[in-house]
Amino acid sequence: MEKADRFLALHRPGNPLLLPNPWDQGSAKVLASLGFQALATTSSGFAATLGRLDGSVSRDEALAHAAAIVAATALPVSADLENCFAGDPDGVARTVALAAGTGLAGCSVEDYTGDDDAPVYDIGLAAERVAAAVEAAHGGPVRLVLTARAENYLHGRPDLADTIARLQAYQAAGADVLYAPGLTSLADIRQVVAAVDRPVNVLAMSGAPPVSELAAAGVSRVSVGGAFAFAALGALADAAGELLGEGTYGYLAGSAAGRQAVQRAV
């Protein structure tokens, strides 16, 4: 409960919480040591550690991973639980109830179906799913901060009016934080912030405004998704390419910085 309260209090419009997404315990410790105030898991980054693509992790695996990240630091942690591994509200509630037992401060539920032909749930069912998640997040012995995600922009549906209507419905259903990943237009982000009465999260991605402009727009949280995990894997691929190609060791400079970061963190 204390972690959830602390986590929610960090969501301040105009002074956004910078929420990095570690992919394992080591990266969680490093990020905590650098001064971040909270952490969130990343479904795509975690899947990559298993040699899989996003969307291929099971509920049990995601919850065990969340518990491991929680155990790595004293910071509040929110879990990316994708669509809560269920289409029906009862299944969503069950996932959130299980998440509450892992020590998390929060979790998210998205309206992505996993079906390419109909990638986003009908808004009525989507709101019912959020309401079920909220009841499980707020009604048990442990409270979680519930983030509701509108996935339109990540799945070929760049419809701002529908996205806002969804976020408003999720607010009415009791969500604590609202999130429409994929928005990059500052004007669109301003419209979202003005249209709702809850903290708004923005995904840091190519084309997105810098944090200073998001802060001025009233954004309360900025997260990175799987970007840090894939940046690390990109550095790995570059180092391996250098060794295989040129046979040189320029990558050792980066590895020294990484080793020092770990030594400071543990």
- Counting residues of the chain whose pLDDT is more than 70, the rounded percentage is 100
pLDDT at 33 over 80: yes
The band of 1, judged by pLDDT with boundaries at 50, 70 and 90, is confident
- N-term to C-term CA, the chain: 26
20: left (phi over 0), alpha (psi -120 to 50) or beta: beta
Rounded CA separation 232/228 (Å):
6
Q: What is the mean pLDDT of the chain?
A: 98
Q: pLDDT tens, 36-93?
A: 999 999 999 999 999 999 999 999 999 999 999 999 999 999 999 999 999 999 999 9
Which helix or strand (DSSP H or E) is residue 134 part of?
A: helix 123-139
User: Which residues in the chain belong to E strands, given as ranges?
Assistant: 17-19, 39-40, 77-80, 106-110, 145-149, 177-179, 200-203, 221-223
117-151 burial code (b ≥16 CB/10 A, e <16):
eebbbebeebbbbbbbbbbbbbeeebbbbbbbbbb
pLDDT at 11 over 80: yes
> Any bridge partners for residue 221, and if so which?
17, 201
Q: Give the pTM.
A: 0.97
Q: 2-225 has which fold?
A: TIM Barrel (3.20.20)
Determine contact, residues 191/219, Cβ cutoff 8 Å.
Answer: no
The position carrying tokens 């997040």 is: 137
Rounded CA separation 19/37 (Å):
8
Sequence ranges of the domains in the chain: 2-225
